[in-house]
Amino acid sequence: MAAISSPLAVPTARRELPGDLAMWCFILAELAVFGIFFITYAFARSANVAMFDESQQHLNRTFGLVNTFILITSSYFVVRAVESIRHDRGQACARWLGAAIACGALFLVLKVVEFVAKYEAGITMSTNTFYMFYLFLTFFHFMHVILGMVILGAIALKARAGGYSRASHAGAETGAAYWHMVDLVWIVLFPLIYVLH
Amino acid sequence: MTSSRTATLQWASLLALTTITFQIAQSGMSGWGFILPILLIILIKGRIVIDRFMELQGVAGPFRWIVLGWLITVLGLIAFAFHLTGDL
């Protein structure tokens, strides 16, 4: 089993798509929307580099770093939840999902603290184009975190009630895929908005 | 190695790569030596999430390539936009 010891190791067998096909279509649509905004941000920046770079310096990178740690950790908890249900451990699955939801809640609290700090500094979407992108993209992602938490919560309740089994757990995989998409988007968003200049 | 230990290794790798991104950000560097390593780290982190957490590696059908293609396209166009400004 040495082949799977690396984070990027290649499994050999072809498998079915985990979760529901409809959710994967939704995920692709979401990625397309975020992708368009990311690319638009990058090209909008090229029209006014000095303003974007100066405004970026007022963002709290440490908040972004901590929030990245939190979302990555929540994704790990979701991986463990899916693994648990594949071993018929519904209660453990619910506990891992509860931990992931707690991470999501912490992420939201930190984002609210960040938003309030910007509001108190008089920064709004009208301040300049950089802040328009920053506030819009982070708030748009914020709403996806909330939706993801609702989905994970529903899955946790069903897992706790014994609604999933080793043989039937596509719902858990579907919710997990959505949550990982939220994580993937943040993995691009954080360095793009907070770091790259 | 069990799947939970593999997942833990992947999680630790993602945290380490995020820390490296932060260290590069705090270094005060700019230009090629600043932007390209960060984009490369995003690509590696994204691939771990796509292939391992989303479990798209080894899946039948085009979904893995669509999602990986999304990531590569977005990062490529971001690099191009930064190239236009002379940052790259």
Rg, Å, chain A Cα set:
19
With CA atoms as reference, report the closest residue to A14 among B75, B17, B63, B20.
Answer: B63
Model pTM greater than 0.95? no
Residue of A nearest to B11 (CA): A76
Residues 25-84, chain B: which have Cβ within 8 Å of A? 25-26, 30, 35, 38, 41-42, 44-61, 63, 66-67, 70-71, 73-75, 77-78, 81-82, 84
Q: Does residue A5 surpass a pLDDT of 60?
A: no
Interface check for A70 against chain B (CB to CB < 8 A): the answer is: no
Q: Measured between beta carbons, which residues in chain A are less than 8 angstroms from residue B49?
A: 75, 180, 183-184, 187
Condensed to tens digits (0 to 9), the pLDDT of residues A131-175 reads 999 999 999 999 999 999 999 999 999 999 999 999 999 999 999
The mean pLDDT of A46-59, rounded to a whole number, is 94
Cα angle vertex A46, ends A133, A57, to 5°?
A: 55
Q: CA-CA distance, B34 to B87, in Å (whole number)?
A: 9
> Mutate which of B8, B17, B21, B77 to test chain A, going by most A C-beta atoms within 10 A?
B21
A60-197 has which fold? Four Helix Bundle (Hemerythrin (Met), subunit A) (1.20.120)
Contact at 8 Å (CB) between A71 and A186? yes
User: Which residue's structure tokens are 């030596």?
Assistant: B33
Residues making up chain A, counted from first to last: 197
Residue pair A43/A193 in contact (Cβ under 8 Å)? The answer is: no
Chain A residues with beta carbon closer than 8 angstroms to that of B82? 42, 45-46, 196
Residue contact B49–A183, C-beta within 8 A: yes
Looking at residue B42, its pLDDT comes to: 98
For Cα atoms B2, B6, B9, give the angle at the middle one, nearest 5 degrees.
140
Q: Give tens-digit pLDDT for A112-134.
A: 999 999 999 999 999 999 999 99
Q: Please give the pLDDT value at position A1.
A: 40
Query: What pLDDT was estimated at residue A15?
Result: 84
Lookup result for tokens 């950089």: A130
Q: How far apart are CA A93 and CA A112, in angstroms?
A: 29
In three-state secondary structure terms, B55 is: coil
Per-domain residue ranges of chain B? 3-84
Domain definitions of chain A by residue range: 60-197
- Residue contact B54–A18, C-beta within 8 A: yes
Name the residue among A103, A26, A56, A68 with its Cα closest to residue A189: A68
- Range with the lowest mean pLDDT among A1-5, A15-19, A125-129? A1-5
| Nearest Cβ partner for A11 among B42, B57, B75 | B57
Please give the structure tokens belonging to residue A12: 């050999």
Q: Could you tell me the two tokens for A19?
A: 């979760």
> How sure is the predictor about B88, in pLDDT bands with cuts at 50, 70 and 90?
low
Tokens of A167: 């043989």
- Taking an 8 Å cut-off on Cβ atoms, the answer to whether B47 and A8 are in contact is yes
Res. B19: pLDDT tops 50: yes
> For residue A8, what pLDDT is reported?
61
C-beta separation of B88 from B35 below 8 A: yes
Give the C-alpha separation, A127 to A21, whole Å. Answer: 41
Contact A7 B57 (CB under 8 A): no
The answer for residues whose C-beta is within 8 angstroms of residue A42's C-beta and 6 or more apart is A192, B77, B78, B81, B82
State the pLDDT at residue B3: 84
CB contact under 8 A, B26 and A61: yes
State the Cα–Cα distance between residues A89 and A8, nearest whole angstrom.
27
pLDDT digits (tens, 9 = 90+) for B30-83: 788 899 999 999 999 999 999 999 999 999 889 999 999 999 999 999 999 999
CB–CB of A133/A37 below 8 Å? Answer: yes
> Which CA distances in Å does A81 have to A72, A187, B4, B26, B51?
14, 21, 10, 35, 17
Q: Say whether A188 and B54 touch across the interface (CB within 8 A).
A: no
The per-residue pLDDT for A2 is 41
